[in-house]
Structure 1
Amino acid sequence: MISIIVPAHNEKKNLEKLLPHIENYKTTIPYEILVAISPNTTDGTNSILHSKKVLLLNSPKKGRAAQMNYAAKHAKGTILVFLHADVFPPKSFLSDIKQALSNNIDAGFFSYKFDSDNFFLKINASFTRKDGIFTGGGDQCLFIKAKKFNTLKGFNETQILMEDFEFFKRIKKNKIPYTIINNNLIVSVRKYEHNSYIRVNVSNLILIVLFKFGCSPKKLKKIHSKLIKTQYHNG
């Protein structure tokens, strides 16, 4: 079974679109969807209509890392998939993952494109097709065998920002074989709606460099809050 884990903080509107999209997959591959809801959520996410394939979980701790770990403990699947609420997977999502992990690969990510025809955003998205400095971001939808995830002891809950990159760092350190599937996810441009293209990209670069040089999670969070205007990041 594949367990799709979606961390959510005031994501009701996005989940009302995403969940039916995944629930309606025509596939013989068994799967479940676990929505890990932040304790600070105030938009009524718990009232979302859903099928038996979906389990809504109220995380006792705030923060995306804590939410995803909490859902992972409740997951039944041998494969864990970590999907953002504003990211839409392709129709072959599940079969892509199953096939990728059948070739001595233990983890992986997807390439993506934005839900916009903006030329510069197309350039940004093109970098997700190959391994590079920005590989491992949450929008690329990490998938990993549950045994390997548990071996790495899950996400670092003290990493209040860039928990995805920190986990990927450990994947590489432990020489866990991974791949990038070139079948685009559709990623929301909402971050760019509140910030300029240059501001977002310069901010991302600054945060990545500071992270790689060992900047503390609290300081990264503080810098991120100053650089990027956002109303949806888990707090």
Structure 2
Amino acid sequence: MERLSIIIPTLNEEAWLLGTLRTVQALNPPAWDVVVVDGGSTDTTTTIAHGAGITVVQTSTAGRAIQMNEGARRASGTLLCFLHADTRIPTDLVSVARGALADDSIACAGFVSLMRSDGKTRWLISTLNLLKTHGAPLLFRPHLFLRGFRLLFGDQVMITRRDTFWSVGGFNESLPLLEDGDLCFKLLKRGRIKLIRRVVFSSDRRVRQWGTCKAVVMYLSIGILWGLGMPPGRMKRFYEDIR
């Protein structure tokens, strides 16, 4: 039976990490192992992880791609699950992941992500993000869409096989943004990208910081610029790092 490792990249996530770790520890069946990969937090993030009995790995450089690759090296499962520190997962995630990847034609799978805080769901933003999964490939890369390309982002809890992940070189550590979408491109060489019809919940911290109107413009702009081929390094200036 496939063993699922959960990898959580962190940087100053004290406000969110404990809640996420509680959902991880409530999994039934449990994950094979859980690795928090910290990029140099100056708050209590690592203390929280240690206190929860979670393995913590430190990287000398902060960067989501760098941290997730290091976590993949340290994890020992046959399946790799990349989880953001502010995302809540269902208790049956392990079974759902095994079921999704039981099909050898699937190279990667991810969930429907809803942005939520204080019991309130941001339906407009969540719907736009869901439409992006199918709509962006269909509009900008229709030939790849027909081959099974779907655009997943990190808040959708991406899951892939360990050997498949490393066969395409893992995450591109030179990318400051959209390393998840880039991975989907690479994994398409190994099989289809699947959207699991189950929900995970991510924090709406960026929407609260920006406001709904700015968030809509930001997310649409990034999607369009991605479709037009703008390098992620240039897009980074539009995407603030909010904790």
Q: Distance in 2 between matches of 1:30 and 1:8?
A: 19
Deviations 1:34-70 (A, max 9, x none): 111012x11122212113xx21111122110000011
TM-score, structure 1 as length reference: 0.87
Deviations 1:110-168 (A, max 9, x none): 1122222444245336537x633283111111100000100010100110111111111
Q: Distance in 1 between matches of 2:98 and 2:127?
A: 29
Q: Distance in 1 between matches of 2:126 and 2:220?
A: 17
Q: Classify 1:38/1:195 alpha carbon distance in 2 versus 1 (closer, same or farther; 3 Å).
A: same
CA RMSD of aligned residues (A): 1.9
Q: Distance in 2 between matches of 1:182 and 1:60?
A: 37
Q: CA deviation at 1:97?
A: 0.2
Q: Which of 186, 197, 205 is equivalent to 2:212?
A: 197
Corresponding residue of 1:110: 111
1:120 aligns with 2:124: yes
Q: Distance in 1 between matches of 2:205 and 2:91?
A: 23
Corresponding residue of 2:242: 231
Q: Distance in 2 between matches of 1:177 and 1:124?
A: 22
- Percent identity over the alignment is 25
Q: Classify 1:4/1:202 alpha carbon distance in 2 versus 1 (closer, same or farther; 3 Å).
A: same
Asked if structure 2 preserves the Cα contact closer than 8 Å seen for 1:8 and 1:85, the reply is yes
Deviations 1:61-115 (A, max 9, x none): 2110000011111110110011111110111111000011112223111112222
Asked if structure 2 preserves the Cα contact closer than 8 Å seen for 1:110 and 1:141, the reply is yes
Corresponding residue of 2:146: none
Q: Distance in 1 between matches of 2:122 and 2:66?
A: 34
Corresponding residue of 1:5: 7
Q: Which of 224, 239, 242 is equivalent to 1:209?
A: 224
Query: Which sections of structure 1, spanning at least 5 residues, go unmatched?
Result: none
TM-score, structure 2 as length reference: 0.84
Asked if structure 2 preserves the Cα contact closer than 8 Å seen for 1:3 and 1:32, the reply is yes
Corresponding residue of 2:59: 59
Query: Which range moved further: 111-120 or 82-91?
Result: 111-120
Q: Classify 1:57/1:151 alpha carbon distance in 2 versus 1 (closer, same or farther; 3 Å).
A: same
Corresponding residue of 2:34: 33
Corresponding residue of 1:160: 176
Asked if structure 2 preserves the Cα contact closer than 8 Å seen for 1:114 and 1:125, the reply is no
Corresponding residue of 1:16: 18
1:148 aligns with 2:164: yes
Asked if structure 2 preserves the Cα contact closer than 8 Å seen for 1:5 and 1:68, the reply is yes
Q: Classify 1:119/1:14 alpha carbon distance in 2 versus 1 (closer, same or farther; 3 Å).
A: closer
Query: Which sections of structure 2, spanning at least 5 residues, go unmatched?
Result: 138-150
Amino acid at match of 1:223: F
Q: Distance in 2 between matches of 1:122 and 1:156?
A: 26
Asked if structure 2 preserves the Cα contact closer than 8 Å seen for 1:158 and 1:217, the reply is no
Q: Distance in 2 between matches of 1:121 and 1:216?
A: 24
> Partner of 1:147: helix, strand, or coil?
helix
Corresponding residue of 1:96: 96
